Every structure is written in structure tokens, then in C-alpha cells.
Amino acid sequence: MKMKPVHTPIARIFLLLCVACLSFMACTSEEQIFTDEVYEKSHDAKVSFSLMLPFRMQTRALSEQDENAIQQVRLLMFKNTSGIMTYCMGVNGSNIHSNSLSQKTFDAILPAGEYDIVVLANAQDIADGSNISLGDTKENVLKALVKKNAGKWNENSIPMWGRIDNLTIHSETDFNNNSYSVEMTRMLAKIDIETLASASADFSLTDIRLYNYSSQGALVPDPATWSSDNMAVSPTQPSAPGGYAAVSSPLIFDASDGVTTNGCKQIIYTCEAPAGSAENLSANTCIVIGGSYRGEATSYYKVDFAGEENNRRVFLPLLRNNYYLINIIRVSGNGYPTPEIALQSPSVNINTSFLYWTEQNMNNVVFDGKYMLGVSTGRLTLPSDAHTTTGSDNTLNIRSTMPAGWEIEKITDASGMAGTAPWLTLNLLADASGAAKAVTVFTEKNTSMSNRTAYIYIRSGNLRYCVEVTQETVPGFYIEVTDLSTGQPVDLYDFTYQAGQVKEFRVVWKPATIKVTVYVTNPGTAFAGTGAPGNNSQLTGGSKTYTITGNGSTINRLTKLDFALTDGTRTEVKTLFLRQKQ
């Protein structure tokens, strides 16, 4: 097989360096053998994936075995066909394993090639019933993934989806030490209802009705409804006939579903639904609560999904992966005599608070039954570089529903004393808007010989949360080639002419999201072994381990491996020579 010519500027520099190096080596009277053989990469590869699951609220949701359970995984593979991504195959995952409440892993055998991959979890029935065909466009395939459910969600797992774009697979793909991470999103909204102590003395809840819910949901959101930071900004209308397909008869939850006098014992799950309106109250997706006021006959109270914005009432949609909490604060009298009358009427004699937040970027939530404080993560780990601009690795998302908002109480080191971590600062110290705010964590360069840690204390009324920030001693943009047995950097391996000698080394780089390109000069057959890289091959995942076996020969040989990491602005190259001599 002929080696393809390399035209990139980096490659030309490598070739010039190689010529100079080879000329120097020739002065040692070692005969150099050049061939045009390259490593064949057409075989399948076993790839490990890590599913990062949405935040799981520690309230009355399904148990971990249900809400964050992964029963099965299916990969939909798409390849570029004349500039259009088309469906080429489906692959089932295997060896599903639970690492924690929020992380599962699985393996898949994938063929060589470059793909966009859509990961479906707990959605085998959706994929099987979608009538998708090989060659269909990616857009049409994803639109066809619709779940239909006209009743309660009483299944033991929730459908989720995630995606991986531009993933290159070949026989050298190595995710054994660094599985590919996929952020997953549930397709359902979650509704919770609780009676606070201020209302429980006068009111006993008996049942809950969900009106005008959608019996159909899109598994994968329309890109137009999806933000760049993986959050739903509006509901996705299913492509199936009927669109949202609102069901007029309600879902009724009572004692048999775990409803008590003080609220739900189980979360109510439902598909996305559009916002209601004040013009047609009976058509809105809403809750009707049945209960007894001071021991009298059951009456009914309507609660809309609505909030306040600029001192006016605004109806809200139900969005996937969002959590909606209705707190019954006070009941001052009887409601309507029937749920049907309540549905068509404004709410009366009930005072509720309505909290909602996305579970995508608010992975850590604390609340006191009335207000919530949400933070995207409880821990940041940063490289030694100075962080002076905003990036995905040094951003916190903070939100509070407290009227006064939130503030940074203090930033400390392990002592807990304010001001003891001057190397860390923030671009925003308080906010009272109630909206999620992105807070940038700035750091000075860590020039010490050890990692350092700071603690950011966030306060919202009586609610508090602490974020731990660790800055390591290694930079965030680097590439290393180290011997596997010693862990030390290596740039030359010597083999004798005897066959069977084995050398093992590892290539590690950051950021792990950038691909490393391998350039091979004089590949030959002397070092094909079991893992020699191919020219112009690309590495993904942040780590790659090679096992090189010398084939043996009485002829001196030299192969040069260049591992190039570039982000368009910075470039780092590490070189390793494989030399066989008598």
C-alpha cells in the first residue's frame, strides 16, 4: 500500500527534521532502509464509553435502580456521504457497569471509520419502532425517534440520549484507560408536589390530576430547542402525527400511587409540553389538586405551570430534564366542587410556590422546601496554567430562587479563613436576578511543586454550598511520551537484530478532547509488532499505549514517530526513534 503524501506545514517541518536526522545517523555507517509500507487500520476496535447521567434529586424520585438505571444501550452510527451525515448502522452496547449514581460504563465493538454517534439508553423500543432505514439522513432519523405513552410512566427506566461527533475509530483506538465520556439527558420532565407545615394543619391532600399532558415525546431534541451548553430552551414537538398529542382526560395519582396527605411519594414524569395561556385555561397543561380543607368534603384547586416575570404572570412550558416543584404554602378555604370546574377556572383559596430548574447544569441542588440554590458542580480541577479567560473547564453555573439571590460568602484555603487563597478570583460575586449565571474562576499560574486547593463558599439566605477548586502542577496543553515500565520520558528505543524484543510506551496529552496526529517516517516492517502506529493516524481520548515488538534483522533500521498536538494556535510535538542495530 502506498504511503499518501503529506502536505501540511507541520508535516513538511517534520520531514525536513527527519532528513537532517537521518543524515546524521548515516554518518555512523548504519544502513537505512526506507519502505512505503504503512500500518493497516481497517479492523474493528473495542471501545469503552462512560455515560455521565443527569443529576438525581434526592427526594421522592424513583430509586436509583429506576431513574438512573441503564437497562440497554444502542449506538446509532452516522457517516459522511457527499457532505450529508447518513445512518449506516446500529450497534448494541455490552458490559454495562455502574460506577456511581451518576456514571455508567459500557463497551461496544465498532468498525473502523469516522462517525457521528448518537447514544440511546433505555430506548430499544423507540429505535425498533421508528422505521428508520440505512441511508436515511441523520436529521430524519433523529426526528423519527418518538416515544408514545398515553398513561402513567410506570416503567423501571427512563429513556435518555447523548451524542459524540467526529469520532475516529480504528484498530489502534485505545479507551482502556480513558473511556469516552458522553453526557446523557433524560427525555422527561419531573413534577413534585409537597404540602408545607404552614398548610398541613388546615389541609389534607387526597389526589393529584395532571391535565392536558402530551402522550408523545421526542427522544432527541430539535437543535433549535437546544442550547450550546446542553439545556432545553423550549420543548421539541414530536414529528409523529398529532405533535404533542395532548390528552384531555387526566392522569390521576392517589394513595395507590404513593400520594399522602402531605404530597407525592413518587415523582410524576411526563413528556415535554408547550406553555399554556390565559386565553384558554382549560387547554393548559396543569395540575389540579384534590384535598380536604379543615375536614370538609374534598374540593379541587388548580395550579398552573406559571411564574412571575417583570411583575406579570408568565406561563411556562414543561421541558425535558427539568424539575418542577410545587409547594402548597397555605390553603384558606374550599376549592371547586369538581376537578372539571377547577380546570376551567382560575385558582382560588390556595397559595403555592412554584420552583423549577434544569438538572443538566445544576448537578448540586440544596433547598429548604421553599427556595433552592443550585450549582453546576461541587469540584473543579484545573491545570497549572494561569486562567485569565472564560472556558468550559473554569466556569460555574449558579442559580437561586431566593428573592435576595446569592452571594459569594468567602474564598479560603483548607483553614477556612477568608482571603487565604489569593491565587483564585471570580468575575461575579453576587446576583439577585434568579436566573442561572455563569461565574468564571480565574487563577494565577501554579509554579509550586504541589497541587493547591481553594474553597468557594456560596450563600443564599440560609442555604449554603461549597465548591472545591484544585489547581494541579501540570499544564493544560502538553503531550508526553513515557516508558510504561519506568514512567520516565523516552525519545529512543534500541532493538537488537534478534526478533521478539518488546518495548511499551504511553502517549498522554491534554486537552484530551483534541486529537493527536502521528507522523511515521520509514515505517518498514522491523517494528510492526502488535501496535505500531500508522502514518497520519489520529489518537483520541487523552491516552494511548503502544506495545512494539521488533521483528529482527541483520540490517540496521530506523523509524521515526512524531506525535503532534495542536489547537490551531499552539503546537507541541514529541518524537520517538525506534532503532535496530547489530
Q: Is the pLDDT of residue 2 over 70?
A: no
**Dihedral angle of Cα 261, 267, 271, 275, to the nearest 10 degrees:** 50
Same domain, yes or no, for 208 and 289? Answer: yes
The verdict on 515 and 557 lying in the same domain is: yes
Domain-ending residue, one of 132, 157, 186: 186
Residue 40 lies in a domain: no
Same domain, 199 and 142: no
Looking at the predicted structure, is the pLDDT value of residue 39 above 70? no
Residue 409 has pLDDT above 90, yes or no: yes
Q: Which residue has the higher pLDDT, 344 or 523?
A: 344
Domain range for 240: 189-358
Q: Does residue 356 register a pLDDT over 60?
A: yes
119 and 240 together in one domain: no
pLDDT digits (tens, 9 = 90+) for 302-320: 999 987 777 788 899 999 9
Same domain for 84 and 224, yes or no, is no
Asked whether residue 35 is assigned to any structural domain, the reply reads no
The mean pLDDT value for 255-284 works out to: 89
**Residue where one domain finishes, among candidates 338, 358, 378:** 358
Mean pLDDT taken over the chain: 83
Structural domain includes residue 213: yes
- Residue 459 is predicted with a pLDDT of 92
The listed range with the strongest mean pLDDT (271-285, 329-343, 531-545, 552-566) is 329-343
pLDDT for residue 23 is more than 80: no
pLDDT at 201 over 80: yes
Same domain, yes or no: 509 and 447: no
Q: Find the mean pLDDT for residues 9-22.
A: 42
What is the residue type of 224?
A
27-to-20, 23, 24, 571, 580 alpha-carbon distances in Å: 11, 7, 5, 31, 16
In a domain, 4, yes or no: no
What is residue 235's three-state secondary structure?
A: coil
Instruction: Report the percentage of the chain scoring pLDDT > 90.
Output: 46
Distance CA 215, CA 188 (A): 11
pLDDT, tens digit (0-9, with 9 covering 90-100), for 437-491: 899 999 999 999 999 999 999 999 888 888 999 999 888 888 999 998 888 889 8
Per-residue confidence (pLDDT) for residue 290, from 0 to 100: 97
Whether 492 has a pLDDT exceeding 50, the answer reads yes
For residues 166 and 294, what is the distance between their CA atoms, to the nearest angstrom?
A: 62
257-271, 364-378, 417-431: which range is least confident on average? 364-378
> What pLDDT does 581 receive?
72
Per the model's pLDDT, the better-predicted residue between 549 and 123 turns out to be 123
Q: State the pLDDT at residue 365.
A: 74
Is the pLDDT assigned to residue 173 strictly greater than 80?
Answer: no
Do 426 and 495 belong to one domain?
Answer: no
CB 286 within 8 A of CB 343: yes
Residue 85 CB burial class (10 angstroms; 0-12, 13-18, ≥19): middle
Q: Is residue 132 part of a domain?
A: yes
Of 186, 220, 237, the residue that ends a domain is 186
Residue 168 lies in a domain: yes
Q: Which residues pair with 430 in a beta bridge?
A: 407
- Give the whole-number percent of the chain exceeding pLDDT 70: 83
Q: So what's the pLDDT on residue 63?
A: 43
> Is 38 domain-assigned?
no
How far apart CA 441 and CA 513 sit, in angstroms, is: 21
Q: Is 3 among the domain residues?
A: no
- Same domain? For 505 and 572 the reply is yes
Using the predicted structure, report yes or no on whether residue 535 has a pLDDT greater than 60.
Answer: yes
User: Which domain CATH number covers 447?
Assistant: 2.60.40.10
CATH (domain of 269): 2.60.40
Here the CATH number for the domain that contains residue 160 is 2.60.40.2580
Same domain assignment for residues 440 and 339: no
Q: How many domains does the chain have?
A: 4
84 pLDDT more than 90: yes
Same domain, 314 and 165: no
Q: According to the model, what pLDDT value does residue 118 have? A: 97
- If one compares 426 and 401, the residue with the highest pLDDT of the two is 426
Residues 258 and 290 in one domain: yes
Residues 6+ apart with CB under 8 A from 547: 502, 503, 504, 529, 530, 531
What DSSP line would sit under 167-230, residue for residue?
EEE-TT---SSSPEEEE-EES-EEEEEEE-HHHHTTEEEEEEEEESEESEEESS--GGGB-TTS
User: Which of residues 300 and 510 earns the better pLDDT score?
Assistant: 300
329 and 379 both lie in a single domain: no
pLDDT greater than 80 at residue 175: no
